[in-house]
Amino acid sequence: MANTFTRHVSTNVGMTAVTMYTVAASTTTVIMGCHVANLTSSAVTVTLSAAGATLAKDVSIPANSALDLLNGSRINLVATDTVTIVSSAPVSADAILSIMEKA
């Protein structure tokens, strides 16, 4: 079965958790990276979770800056697992999740 590289984008992330991605049935996924940009002129913190576990908690991102939350780590997910992100301020971040799916 072929590997498919995709990306999932969440814009204007705020103080309510956003589901960036849900693994489809009969699929496994590897998270390759999660890049988050702070859209504000003040520092914000973000939390990234997957499969019910926290991957990065309250990570500070300086004003008008960006960060790779996983720092090169690879995370394996299985069917129905979700990836969520939340920020400490309203409409304060954009995020892109890079993944590889295998159906």
Give me the CATH number covering residue 58.
Answer: 2.60.120
* Global pTM value: 0.93
Number of folded domains in the chain? 1
**Three-class SS string for 5-66?**
EEEEEEEEECCCCEEEEECCCCCEEEEEEEEEEECCCCCEEEEEEECCEEEEEEEEECCCCE
Question: Angle 50-60-51 (CA atoms, 0-180°, nearest 5)?
Answer: 5
CA–CA separation, 28 and 42 (whole Å)? 37
pLDDT of residue 6: 96
Count the alpha carbons within 13 Å of 55 in the hemisphere toward its beta carbon. 24
pLDDT in tens, the chain (103 residues): 689 999 999 999 999 999 999 999 999 999 999 999 999 999 999 999 999 999 999 999 999 999 999 988 999 999 999 999 999 999 999 999 999 999 8
Q: Residue 71's domain spans which residues?
A: 3-102
pLDDT of residue 19: 97
